[in-house]
Chains A and B, each alone.
Chain A
Amino acid sequence: MRPEATPVIHAVGLTKRFGSHTILDHLDLEVAQGERVALLGLNGAGKTTFMRCLLGLVPFEGALRVADRDVHGGGREARSRLGYVPQRAPSFDGTLGEVIDFFTRLRGTAPEAVEARLEALDLPLSEHGEKAVRTLSGGMLQKALLALALGAEVPLLLLDEPTANLDAKARREFLRSLQQVNDGTTILLASHRFADVEAVADRLLVLHRGSIAFDGRMQELRERVEDAVTLWIKVPPAMRDRARQQLQTTIELSTVLANGTALGVQAEHTARVDVLLELKRAGIPVEDFWTETPSLHQLLEGVLGLEAAEGEAP
C-alpha cells in the first residue's frame, strides 16, 4: 500500500526522446513523502535521463511534478524543492568555505543549517573551510554536497549513483551519512550497487527500455538474492561427475553448475548444509566451498527475465 498524501514525485505519460530513440516511454509514477526509492536498471535504461527530467535540465513530453511544483518551463520552482548529489562531485574553484557560501546564498539556505550538517558529517567548516576544494577527497566532496542538500531541508533528495567513484571506506561513510536524513524526506537513489540499495531503499523501481519493469519492495529483492546465491564446492576432479550425480538424485536442487574446478549449486539457503552433508555421506571429500552472491546486474537480469550470465567460479 502506498501512502495517500500528495506525491513528492508525480509523473504522467513522461516521455523523453533523443531523435528517434525513446529513452522514457510514457512513464507513470508516484513516489510518496518519506519513501526511500532505489532507481535501478541496466546501462542506458533511462535512470539518469529520468533524474535530468526531474531537475528540469532536459525538455520532455508528459506531466512531471516535484512536491506539487511543475517541472515544465525551466523548473526553477521544482528545483527549489529538491537537493541533488551527482555521481561525481565537481571540482569547483576556491575553498570549501567559499563553495558552501556560494551555494547557500544561491539557494537562500540558512548557512547555520548547512554548517550543522557538515559538523554532523564530520566535515566541520572550522577545520576544512580554508582547504581548496581540489585538494579534498571524493568522499569529502560528496559529503559536502550532501550537507548542502540536507541543509536546504527539501522534500526530495536525488542521489545519482553518489558512491560510484568512492572507495570502500568513503562509500560506507557516505551511506552512514544518509541515515541522518529526516524521515519525512523522500530519497530517490540511482545505483548499480546492491549494498547501496540495501542500505537506503525500501522500494525498488526497475527501469527497462523506458518503462517501469518492476515496482516492488526491498524484501522481494532480498528473497531473490537468497534464492540466487550459488554454493560452490570443490571436489577432486576424478569425483566430480559422481558428486554431481549424487546431488541431483538425492537433493532437490534448482541448478547444478560446473566449471573447470568446482560444482555450483543453487538451493534454498536452508538446504545448503544438506548439500555438504550429502557429499560427506557419499564418501566424496570436499576440498573447499564458498558462496557467491549475485551482482545487482545479475539480479536485474533475473527481474527483467533476461538471459542470466553463465555461472563462473569467482
Chain B
Amino acid sequence: MIARAALFVQRELAGALRARWFLAYSAVFLAGGLLLVTFGLADTTIYGYRGFAKAFTGLVHLALLFVPLLALFPAAASIAEDRESGALEYILAQPVTFGEVYTGKLGGVSVAILLSLTVGFGVAGAVAVLRGVPPGLVVVLYAFVALLALVFVALGLCFSTVTSSRARAMTLGILVWLVLVALGTLGVMLAFIRWGLPEQLLVTWSFLNPVEAFRMGVVSALDADLSLLGPVGAKIIERFGAGGTAALAALSLVGWVALPGLAGWVLFRRRG
C-alpha cells in the first residue's frame, strides 16, 4: 500500500515541478519573506530583535494572504483535474485502492507545498537568524505557516473530491477562505457587539477558525504583544497564557488538517 501511495506522491511532485507552480510559489515566498525581513530588521539596531515585530507582523499577514490561496490551488486541482481529463477513472481502473490514490495525492501536494515554503521561508528565516533573530522564533513561525498550508491543502483536496471540475473546486476553496477571513476577529467582534453574544463564544471561535487560530497561535508564540494580538487575543492570552494559546491554536490547526482530510477520503470513496 505504502509503495503504491508513494508512487502517487512522486507523480504529484513531478507534476508540481512540471507545472512550474512549485518554482513560482517558492519565488513568491522568498521575495516576500526577504523584503519583509530586510526592511523589518532595520529597526533591530534600535530595539534589538523585538524590532523584528514589524517584519514578523508582515510575515504573518503575507502568510494569511498567500499561503491558503497558494495551497488551495494545486490541492483543489489535484483530483478534479484528473476527473475532468478522464485520468482518474483510468487510474482507479488499475489495481489500486481509493485510499492509496487519495493518500498519495494528499501526500504529494503537501510535500510539494512544504518544499516550496521551505525554500521561500527558509532563506528569509536564515537571513533573519543571521541578523540576530533567535532561531527558535523562526522555527515556530515556519511550523505555524506549514500547518496553515496543510489546512488549506486538506480543504482543497476535500473540495476536489466533491466537485466535477477544477474551477469549481477552486471557487469553493476561495469562497471558504474569504468567509474564514471575513469572520476573523473584526467581523466576529462586530457581530458580537451587535447581538451581545457571550465572550466565551468569541474565544471559542478564535480557535475554531483556522485563519484566526493561525494568527493567535503564531503571535502568542513569538511576541505576545497587545498591539499585534488585538483585544480578543489579549483576553485569550490572559486566560491561557502565551504557551497555552499557541498550543491550543496548533491543536486547532492539526484538527483542521485531519477533519477535511478524513472527510475528503470518505467522500472520495463514496463518489469515486
Contacts and interface: CB of A to CB of B under 8 A. Distances in A.
A309 interface: no
Interface in B81-132: 82, 85-87, 89-90, 92-98
Contacts of A158: 93
Contact of B11 (A77, A86, A91, A102): A102
Contacts of A145: 90
Contacts of B95: 76-77, 79-80, 106-107
B15 A90 contact: no
Given A105-B7, A106-B7, A91 B87 contact: yes
Nearest to B83: A90
A98 B19 CA distance: 15
B97 A58 contact: no
Interface in A52-103: 55, 57-58, 74, 76-77, 79-80, 84, 86, 88-94, 98, 102-103
Interface in B12-32: 14-15, 18-19
B90 A106 contact: no
Contacts of A91: 85-87
Interface string B57-101: 000000000000000000000000010011101101111111000
Contact of A55 (B11, B86, B92): B92
B96 to A, nearest CB: 6
Contacts of A93: 14-15, 18-19
B243 interface: no
B4 interface: yes
A109 to B, nearest CB: 10
**Most A CB within 10 A of own CB, among B82, B86, B95:** B95
Interface residues of A, number: 25
Nearest to B269: A74
A110 to B, nearest CB: 15
A57 B15 contact: no
A91 B89 CA distance: 12
Contacts of A55: 92-93
From B11, B19, B82, name the one whose CB has the most chain A CB atoms within 10 angstroms. Answer: B11
A59 to B, nearest CB: 9
A105 B89 CA distance: 18
B135 interface: no
A76 B96 contact: yes
Interface string B140-174: 00000000000000000000000000000000000
A90 B4 contact: no
B94 A57 contact: no
B98 A74 contact: yes
Given A102-B7, A102-B11, 19 more contacts: A55-B92, A57-B92, A58-B272, A74-B97, A79-B94, A79-B95, A84-B90, A84-B94, A86-B86, A86-B90, A90-B90, A91-B86, A91-B87, A92-B85, A92-B87, A94-B14, A94-B15, A106-B94, A106-B95
Interface of B: 4, 7, 11, 14-15, 18-19, 82, 85-87, 89-90, 92-98, 272
23 contacts: A55-B92, A74-B97, A76-B95, A76-B97, A77-B95, A79-B93, A79-B94, A79-B95, A79-B96, A84-B93, A86-B86, A89-B86, A90-B85, A90-B87, A91-B85, A92-B85, A93-B19, A94-B15, A94-B18, A98-B14, A102-B7, A106-B95, A107-B94
CB-based closest 7 A-B pairs: A80-B95, A90-B87, A90-B86, A84-B93, A79-B95, A55-B93, A90-B85
